Amino acid sequence: MTTVAATALSGVIPPVCTPLTSDFEVDVPSLERLVDFLIDSGVSGLFALGSTSEVAFLPDAQRRTVLETIVRHAAGRVPVIAGIIDMTTLRVIEHAKVAAEAGVDALVATAPFYTRTHPVEIEDHFRRVAAATSLPLYAYDVPVSVHSRLDAAMLLRLGAEGVLAGLKDSTGDDNGLRCLLVARDDAGLAQFRVFTGSELTVDSAYRMGVDGVVPGLGNVDPAGYVRIAQLCTDGKWDEARLEQERLLRLFDLVNAAPADRMGRGSSALGAFKTGLHLRGVIASPLAAPPQIPLNEAETAHVRTRLEAAGLL
Amino acid sequence: MTTVAATALSGVIPPVCTPLTSDFEVDVPSLERLVDFLIDSGVSGLFALGSTSEVAFLPDAQRRTVLETIVRHAAGRVPVIAGIIDMTTLRVIEHAKVAAEAGVDALVATAPFYTRTHPVEIEDHFRRVAAATSLPLYAYDVPVSVHSRLDAAMLLRLGAEGVLAGLKDSTGDDNGLRCLLVARDDAGLAQFRVFTGSELTVDSAYRMGVDGVVPGLGNVDPAGYVRIAQLCTDGKWDEARLEQERLLRLFDLVNAAPADRMGRGSSALGAFKTGLHLRGVIASPLAAPPQIPLNEAETAHVRTRLEAAGLL
Amino acid sequence: MTTVAATALSGVIPPVCTPLTSDFEVDVPSLERLVDFLIDSGVSGLFALGSTSEVAFLPDAQRRTVLETIVRHAAGRVPVIAGIIDMTTLRVIEHAKVAAEAGVDALVATAPFYTRTHPVEIEDHFRRVAAATSLPLYAYDVPVSVHSRLDAAMLLRLGAEGVLAGLKDSTGDDNGLRCLLVARDDAGLAQFRVFTGSELTVDSAYRMGVDGVVPGLGNVDPAGYVRIAQLCTDGKWDEARLEQERLLRLFDLVNAAPADRMGRGSSALGAFKTGLHLRGVIASPLAAPPQIPLNEAETAHVRTRLEAAGLL
Amino acid sequence: MTTVAATALSGVIPPVCTPLTSDFEVDVPSLERLVDFLIDSGVSGLFALGSTSEVAFLPDAQRRTVLETIVRHAAGRVPVIAGIIDMTTLRVIEHAKVAAEAGVDALVATAPFYTRTHPVEIEDHFRRVAAATSLPLYAYDVPVSVHSRLDAAMLLRLGAEGVLAGLKDSTGDDNGLRCLLVARDDAGLAQFRVFTGSELTVDSAYRMGVDGVVPGLGNVDPAGYVRIAQLCTDGKWDEARLEQERLLRLFDLVNAAPADRMGRGSSALGAFKTGLHLRGVIASPLAAPPQIPLNEAETAHVRTRLEAAGLL
């Protein structure tokens, strides 16, 4: 639980799934097993309450339980970063306080959403959130959820001023990511840490200069992501590519359910949790409502992908 | 506080602005004055914690204060409807419980947001929220905020089953609104109440068959909206048009600030609150962060529009 | 073929469908019958080569044949307005020249598309197109096709300068339409003619001050649209509403095909042409590729709607 | 001009800019110089009438002149691929015929645009276009222009059937690109050639398995793109990264003009043509209307970037 570690994060930091009981409470024993599973696989940190953690689905009490469980059970083995995802500044600051009380090492916030926002307001938002906490603050660029983009110049300005410690990039826009990375390096801002949220371009992202990866699929195969990150760090690019392509084929488990049965979010998250369930890590694949549970055929699709990836 | 009234709502139900103090607490005396101002102007109900109420900006404690203040101060003179706006089902249900405890008469919920959702999930969402409360539940179709649309057939199906009491339509799509209204009438579902959220087409919407209007601008000129609703009810369409056009010219106050200074949400909400401040109803025009306050020139723009509309 | 008429257009101006032969040539006899059918029903003008005319699907030779056929066969009975729809300025100007040679009375152009455009460029585009022709030029605001909106202030500026003769509004945004109409009237620009492209809110649009309507469904039931326009002009609003609701129910024919079978454009256009075929006006319902033809069940859906509307 | 070459394309195939005279005719001598400049720099082919060629801005006569000039002047030194960009099938087929007459080696077509389209229609579109020509046909996935995406399974199905020879991917979505490439290789479809349209991730794309790159910036610095493609082919990844980062910094010339002066398309294309003008290749940087010309300060911005990249 060192702030030093949290301000120099790198490597694989999976967004930790939130196992649930049948009445949608946090399944604490399963979450503890998941924390061990991830740390034992060699991850560098744990991102609690990210999108893949169903942060948007969890009431505040469950959010608090998640943070307290992960911090307590990680017990300083790796830093814990907490998503403080909410619509606007004052609500985000409330989550920041809860997360700090729970003992996390760093925070992750998005731009405002639901409201129609503006670059000037987004910058002010990050400044206010950072001013309200002593923890390092990471920006989370996730247009599929918040429907706006973070401006690269703004990010680096806030990085240079010490307002932001870094970025989780879930834009899927590797051109933009690379422009940011080159601009960061040209500005001598190596302390501004950049993570890709893409499961499928880890080797590319490392070649561009990212500090690490935050892969949702890293719940199901953390060892794979630890392996590819190490191969990238060691400059073994051909092996990294092969590992990435194995993970890409595994990623197809997110297409378990057809588009007329449920949303892509339900299908992906259901597949991750089903994967964890089939691998014996969590007790139930249940996701929070109104997500649709995978049926038998969809579960079989996940199993097939796990087997092909050598995970069952 | 009669459920009967809340299930047969009609007329003008403004989304009540939330006056704030300089430290972003609810300014209770100002909110009480605003409640009186609106009721004295003849509105049919009060919509607390709507988008114009800055629901997305208020922490839960402030949300609760707003509901308790409005319910207590309205004191049964008109029904109070509460927005229970949050990302997904379980969080929305928590707000529903708080609102019920505060004594509101009906609830308003959107589709899930932040998460990628799906029609099947949206329908399940409304069913679960309705099942968790004994209060009438209205759906709120506001794609500019939630980035999805509500399906008309789904709405009427839930209306027929008693899951939904009605709809607030803030789509700006009068073609879709009319299709819904004709389908509703063809299905004999008059009990499914439909309100337009558009400030600028009240007379058109009434001619199409809506039951009422939820106008953000109705904070600034509630008497104007009560007047136009009455003219529509009385079939005085030419006078209604003139009143609507007066209100449309007043509505230009939302363009107080230029687009490079702030978002359109900040400009509009800042203008509404400035209007209420200039009219002496609330103590301060301050809006919650990260919204940008109107400057002197922008405030003068609002004043000019109020004067032209005969409101100062 | 009087320019005077074309600069003071009003009433019902349907976008004329383009009947095709089995090898996708213009079916001239069918087109002539359609011209007669529309004029005999009392329309005020003919809009050739609009979106409903499949302008995006017709090669230039077929476009020219359409214009020559309609101008020749209309023979001055009503003005003919030609869509000059293409991606950017120089291409649009080429179409303008062909249309002028064909003897049309006015032109209709959209903003640039395919390219990423900008308000400054859109304004320059209209200025250049207008400068290249002596015919009146109407702007066509159709964001579903061109993926940008026309700015109201720009439209009125070009109207005041005589660059634009008016607007066809196919935005579906009746709030924006009303703001434009009030601004137009406040500026004393009655010569700037405004038409709605919406089939479902004709009475509303007339109450807001439009000069007329350009209804795709007006191919199938031109008499209905002529009737509602006359009722609006006569101030018989209750009868207008009933007529509009009848047309709205008829409009459901556009939902003939399910969303997994074809696009909404194919379904709507196929339904219009099937309606014209079933009413005996055109020889074949065929639409240009890659639109999908309606199958037997979908054709039956159209027939049912025609029968319910009293058109078969 | 060998079809064999065109069906096994690889390497750098820049979308050739179209130099214009002051009256917007094709500047043939400048275009010939540009063809020589590109071929002498070592490019593998020439993509005429792509988006960067202003295909959306050129009337058909100019399009034809471009093709005839490039085919004649390339004189078989490298294959020439022609964009046949238009709204829908029949119009695209007309362009295909003109291009075949001009002697090009392959064709490039997008999905339908302007019209609302559908996956079933897009597939039928490519089948019909391919059936109407004996030239190899490449699909062009460019959602920023056509506002729809091409489905990977559809692309590979058409590739396996010989309908499509390959893809130009301008989606900016490297996750999707990689899924396509892995699926292609898993299906043993190496003959389905895949090119990235991104200027900034050439090395990443090569590592993922693309066959080449179609860089707009390749007009200004073709030698740079030839160099990076060779480095990638030779597996010299570290040098490739440095070259890519040099090109990325050069790419900043597209930001010459501020967003309130012109669109991003005008700024980028104006910068490319200004670059070619400053490098002495073409006589004038003029672009077709309604694009806005760069002013003196914006031209200086381009010059600075060229100097920094060692190109002046």
For the stretch B214-262, pLDDT in tens is 999 999 999 999 999 999 999 999 999 999 999 999 999 999 999 999 9
Q: What is the pLDDT of residue B57?
A: 98
**Non-local CB neighbours of A132 within 8 Å, separated by 6+ positions:** A93, A96, A97
Q: What is the pLDDT of residues B18-67, one digit of tens each?
A: 999 999 999 999 999 999 999 999 999 999 999 999 999 999 999 999 99
Of C24, C146, C265, the CB nearest to D90: C24
Task: Report yes or no: D51 and D142 within 8 Å, Cβ to Cβ.
Answer: yes
Of A172, A208, A241, the CB nearest to D173: A172
Look at residue A274 and tell me whether its pLDDT is greater than 90: yes
Using the beta-carbon criterion (under 8 Å), do A174 and D179 form an inter-chain contact? no
Q: State CA B17 to chain mean position distance.
A: 9
Which helix (DSSP H) or strand (DSSP E) does residue A213 occupy?
strand A212-213
Q: What is the pLDDT of residue C3?
A: 42
Using the beta-carbon criterion (under 8 Å), do B245 and C182 form an inter-chain contact? yes
Give the closest-approach CA distance of C194 to chain B in angstroms.
17
User: Stretch D69-86: mean pLDDT, rounded?
Assistant: 98
Look at residue B7 and tell me whether its pLDDT is greater than 80: no
User: Stretch D160-182: mean pLDDT, rounded?
Assistant: 97
B148 falls in which pLDDT band (50, 70, 90)?
very high
C191 falls in which pLDDT band (50, 70, 90)?
very high
User: Stretch C2-7: mean pLDDT, rounded?
Assistant: 48
C7 falls in which pLDDT band (50, 70, 90)?
low
- C87 contacts chain D (CB < 8 A): yes
User: Stretch C104-121: mean pLDDT, rounded?
Assistant: 97
Q: What is the pLDDT of residue C8?
A: 78
Look at residue B5 and tell me whether its pLDDT is greater than 80: no
Give partners of A (≥3 CB pairs < 8 A).
B, D
CA distance D13 to C302: 49
D4 falls in which pLDDT band (50, 70, 90)?
very low
Give partners of C (≥3 CB pairs < 8 A).
B, D
Q: C128 to chain D: which residues are within 8 Å by CB?
A: 289-290
Q: D266 to chain C: which residues are within 8 Å by CB?
A: 118, 121
Pairwise pLDDT comparison (B155 vs A6), residue with the higher score: B155
Of A128, A145, A289, the CB nearest to B114: A145
Interface mutation target, options D62, D114, D291, chain C, most CBs of C under 10 Å: D114
User: Stretch C187-191: mean pLDDT, rounded?
Assistant: 96
Pairwise pLDDT comparison (B2 vs A69), residue with the higher score: A69
Q: A245 to chain D: which residues are within 8 Å by CB?
A: 182
Look at residue C2 and tell me whether its pLDDT is greater than 90: no
- A60 contacts chain B (CB < 8 A): yes
- B144 contacts chain C (CB < 8 A): no
Of A114, A128, A263, the CB nearest to B290: A128
Of the ranges B68-72, C8-12, C98-102, which one carries the lowest mean pLDDT score? C8-12
Of C113, C290, C292, the CB nearest to D88: C290
Mean pLDDT of chain C: 96
Using the beta-carbon criterion (under 8 Å), do C201 and B204 form an inter-chain contact? yes
Taking CA–CA distances from A125, the nearest residue in chain B reads B290
User: Stretch D237-241: mean pLDDT, rounded?
Assistant: 96
User: Stretch C28-46: mean pLDDT, rounded?
Assistant: 98
Q: C180 to chain B: which residues are within 8 Å by CB?
A: none
Q: What is the pLDDT of residues A143-167, one digit of tens each?
A: 999 999 999 999 999 999 999 999 9
User: Stretch C166-184: mean pLDDT, rounded?
Assistant: 97
How far lies D309's CA from each of A121, D238, D281, in Å? 36, 18, 17
Task: Report yes or no: A295 and A252 within 8 Å, Cβ to Cβ.
Answer: no
**Could you give the angle at the alpha carbon of A198 between the alpha carbons of A194 and A204, nearest 5°?**
75
Give the closest-approach CA distance of D141 to chain C in angstroms.
13
Look at residue C226 and tell me whether its pLDDT is greater than 60: yes
CA distance D176 to D210: 13
- B66 contacts chain A (CB < 8 A): no
User: Stretch C199-222: mean pLDDT, rounded?
Assistant: 98
Q: What is the pLDDT of residue D2?
A: 39
Task: Report yes or no: B169 and B197 within 8 Å, Cβ to Cβ.
Answer: yes
Q: Residue C168 carries which DSSP code?
A: E
How far lies B5's CA from each of B104, B197, C173, D3, D86, in Å? 12, 20, 32, 77, 58
Q: Computed from CA positions of residues C64, C65, C66, C68, in that sequence, does the dihedral angle turn out positive or negative?
A: positive
Of A172, A179, A203, the CB nearest to D175: A172
Interface mutation target, options D169, D186, D204, D232, chain A, most CBs of A under 10 Å: D204
Residue numbers of A between 208 and 267 with CB closer than 8 Å to B: 261-266
Q: What is the pLDDT of residue D8?
A: 78
Q: What is the pLDDT of residue A6?
A: 57
Q: B51 to chain A: which residues are within 8 Å by CB?
A: 115
C1 falls in which pLDDT band (50, 70, 90)?
very low
Q: C237 to chain B: which residues are within 8 Å by CB?
A: 207, 237
Q: What is the pLDDT of residue B8?
A: 78
Using the beta-carbon criterion (under 8 Å), do B125 and A265 form an inter-chain contact? no
Of the ranges A98-112, A179-193, C3-17, which one carries the lowest mean pLDDT score? C3-17
Provide the whole-model pTM: 0.97
Taking CA–CA distances from A186, the nearest residue in chain D reads D249
Look at residue C195 and tell me whether its pLDDT is greater than 60: yes
Interface mutation target, options C55, C114, C117, C261, chain D, most CBs of D under 10 Å: C114
Interface mutation target, options B84, B118, B163, chain A, most CBs of A under 10 Å: B118
A3 falls in which pLDDT band (50, 70, 90)?
very low
Query: How many CB contacts within 8 angstroms connect chain C with chain D?
Result: 141
Of D87, D147, D292, the CB nearest to C56: D87
Q: What is the pLDDT of residue D6?
A: 57
Q: What is the pLDDT of residue A2?
A: 39
User: Stretch A85-114: mean pLDDT, rounded?
Assistant: 98
Q: What is the pLDDT of residue C72?
A: 98
Task: Report yes or no: A107 and A82 within 8 Å, Cβ to Cβ.
Answer: yes
Look at residue B2 and tell me whether its pLDDT is greater than 50: no
| Residue that has been written with the tokens 């740390």 in this structure | A39
- β-strands B46-48, B11-12: how paired? unpaired
